[in-house]
Amino acid sequence: MGKKEKLLAKLFSNKLPRDFTKQELDTLMQLCNCEKQYGGRGSSVAYGHTPTGRVLQFDAPHPGNELYPYQVKMVKNFLIDTKEYKR
């Protein structure tokens, strides 16, 4: 199983992961044809899906390193919508 598949398995496990980190998100999004976008306001983080032009944007979690549950749900929905994850 490759890195992309391992990260997708962790993200889409039956129980919502509470330990999905910003670094894991950066790696997964890169493997899913997304480019990290800089700029914007404060702690905002954005990923542009190159094939579709769709953008996922939210405020980065802080002070911790783990994504909040609502952010995990946003990432999951984004990957389903862009067809990077197939159920």
Residue 77, phi then psi, degrees to nearest 5: -65, -40
Q: pTM of this prediction?
A: 0.91
Degrees (nearest 5) of the Cα angle 30, 58, 12?
Answer: 55
pLDDT, residue 44, reads 87
Q: Along the 87 residues of the chain, how does pLDDT read in single tens digits?
A: 899 999 999 999 989 999 999 999 999 999 999 999 977 777 889 999 999 999 999 988 888 899 999 999 999 999 999 999 987
